[in-house]
Amino acid sequence: MSLNNWKYITIHCSATPECREVSLEDINQMHLNRGFRKVGYHYVILLDGTIEIGRSIDKQGAQVRGFNSDNIGVCYIGGLDLNMKAKDTRTPEQKDSLETLLKYLRSMKRGKSSEIKGHRDFSPDLNNNGIIESNEFMKECPCFDVISEYKHI
């Protein structure tokens, strides 16, 4: 993927319980165990809001099957409650860092558009009504409505 030539910025969660510390290296190991060459995300946002760089943004990610060639992947740590059910577990620091990162990525596009979506927003529209509804989600990741939350960016 050439620099600044992406169509999507996709938000993911690590699908780990709230308050559980998970590092970029932990996610890298999970992805290596799944057969990836390295972590599939370009950025990972830790619980304290630290933004860590995974894959270089000039390299194709491994995060949304069928949409990796023109997609920047951002993953926040969390996404599940203590009972392993989907929940928006973002800390205030993660929310601030995510918005800052999205604004930065958008500024890199120099006027070219990109869509900010959640992983679940790539699910198929099974009833062909033009809306991907919760019963159509292949997965709930990232456990909040990315499109409406970040439409102002």
So which residues are the catalytic ones? 12, 41, 119, 139, 141
The β-bridge partners of 45 are 51, 76
Per-residue DSSP letter, 68: G
Q: DSSP string covering 107-138, please?
A: HHTTT---EEEEGGGGS--TT-SS---GGG-S
How many Cα atoms occupy the beta-carbon half-sphere of 26 within 13 Å? 14
